[in-house]
Amino acid sequence: MNEQPAGERVVTATLNPTIDKAFSVEHVIAERKLDCDDVRLYPGGGGVNVARAATRLGIEPVALWSCGGHTGTSLRGLLDREGVRSRPIPVGQSVRENLIVHERACQRHFRFGLPGPHLSEQELDLWLETVRSLDPPPDYLVLSGSLPPGASAPWFAEVVRAAPPGARVIVDTKRDALLAAIEVGVFLIKPNLHELEELTGAELPDRRSIEGAARSLIDRGRVRFVLVSLGRGGALLVTEEGCHSLGAPPVPLKSKVGAGDSMVGGVVTALARGGSILEAARFGVAAGAAAVMREGTEICRREDTERLYQEVH
């Protein structure tokens, strides 16, 4: 793969970004004031994390994200600190905050997600116009994360339609929004097993059923590639030509937060460098594995990802 930065070739869009507040307690006990420590702040939201991962992996994506309130200002500062190029889209209400609590005694993580700002009709229109007028048009547009209040699945389909001609759209979201995007037509989706089951309305207990569900989406002519993330089981890449099972390298598990976004970051980094879809899927699995080695909502590191890539087959 070409190791040169890919410039404006990758744009990510995060409609509902967040600041992730991660901290630790010894025990989580109901109705008791708990003393917390090890407080850390991270930029968050699907596309934001994809851009963070891709930046760490050596390309230069541009992150579009809804920016409002003092938390929006803080999020911009956090992204600047990490060297992520960003283009905030102004909105009237504040960027949300999420809480990630690490219980040391039991090594459990608790995640609390807040709904985010309600986007007005004018703000939704601004998003559509921003995507439609991207200049230069990107080779890859990554739409990742949840929809904010005020944004519907049909509107999300309009975001996909707004992608500039030639842009390959990668989608990582859930339920109705994912289905709406598929109906328009996209380059790649990255559901996990639960999301694929929701999408197809069927339990998928084994590889054959997973492959069949993914292939049914491809056969409809609306999706070119389906990359199903299977956690410690690695991933399944389904294409028109076949199916590839990619085993995840064994790594110490510290946190699953950010693994899926790191996977997408790895995939789009490899694609932007000219890698094949199979090389990109392998690099994505390596990036996801590199992320679970990290504490809190930390994402993958380049040195870990490149080392683990050699172990993904």
- Catalytic amino acids? 261
Q: Which residue is associated with the tokens 């683990």?
A: 308
Comparing CA positions, the residue from 264, 265, 261, 230 lying closest to residue 248 is 230
Residue matched to tokens 């048009």: 137
CA 252 to chain CA centroid, Å, is: 22
| Burial class (CB within 10 angstroms; exposed 0-12, middle 13-18, buried 19+) of 269 | buried
Q: Taking Cα atoms as reference points, which of 235, 52, 262, 267 lies closest to residue 170?
A: 267
Q: Is 111 helix (H, G, I), strand (E, B) or coil?
A: strand
Distance of alpha carbon 189 from alpha carbon 184, whole angstroms? 13
CB 146 within 8 A of CB 176: no
d(CA 233, CA 251): 12
3-state secondary structure of 235: strand
CA–CA dist 157, 19 (Å, integer) = 26
Here the tokens at position 122 are 């004018």
d(CA 56, CA 286): 14
Cis peptide before 136, with omega less than 30 degrees from 0?
A: yes
Please say whether the beta carbons of 89 and 40 come within 8 A.
Answer: no
Asked if 99 contacts 91 with a C-beta cutoff of 8 angstroms, the reply is: no
Would you say 32 and 82 are in contact if contact means Cβ atoms under 8 Å apart?
no
